Amino acid sequence: MKIYLDNCCYNRPFDDQRQVRIFLETQAKLHIQEQIKNKKIELAISFVSRYENYENPDIICSMSIADFFCRATTYIGIENYNEIFTKASEFMKTKIKMKDAAHLACAIKAGCNYFLTTDDKLIKKYNEKEIIVCNPVTFLQLTGDLYA
């Protein structure tokens, strides 16, 4: 199984953990991260992931995420820009934001089964069948890994 996380997912552990939803999504993301470290789940990243992480003003957060990118088994590079842009443009017609559309296009190009995000609007707007878009908690429920 291969997954792609958008940057809001990567940043979730750095958010205010006093909100129950954020805490639960953080715990789920950290569990998924362990599964990636233990090679039970494959991770895909892209030039879009790297670019968006590079824009992060929190250097500690950015460095931590960049370090985790080394665990990726699949990388969609800038040489795929035209194909990614074409696919992302299709998603943008359904009111999905440009960066989200680019991430989705990269995840599909990488052959991912799941695209993880904590963005409820993105989850609601994406209604294609090419990839399952869900938050980290739902991912664990769908894969039967919630209590592992």
Closest CA to 140 of 8, 7, 9, 52: 9
Q: Which amino acid appears at position 85 of this protein?
A: F
In the predicted model, is pLDDT for residue 113 greater than 80? yes
In the predicted model, is pLDDT for residue 148 greater than 70? no
pLDDT score recorded for residue 121: 95
If one counts every other C-beta atom within 10 angstroms of the C-beta of residue 82, the result is 8
Summarised one tens digit per residue, pLDDT across range 77-96 is: 999 999 999 999 999 999 99
Polymer length of the chain: 148
Say if residues 64 and 119 touch (Cβ distance below 8 Å): no
Summarised one tens digit per residue, pLDDT across range 119-142 is: 999 999 998 889 999 999 999 999
pLDDT score recorded for residue 128: 82
Q: How many helices (H) and strands (E) does the chain have?
A: 8, 5
Look over the chain and give the mean of its residue pLDDT values, rounded to a whole number: 95
Domains (range + CATH), the chain: 2-142 (3.40.50.1010)
Whole-angstrom distance, CA of residue 127 vs CA of residue 75: 25
In the predicted model, is pLDDT for residue 146 greater than 70? no
In the predicted model, is pLDDT for residue 75 greater than 90? yes
Whole-angstrom distance, CA of residue 48 vs CA of residue 95: 19
Summarised one tens digit per residue, pLDDT across range 1-48 is: 999 999 999 999 999 999 999 999 999 999 999 999 999 999 999 999
pTM, two decimals, is: 0.94
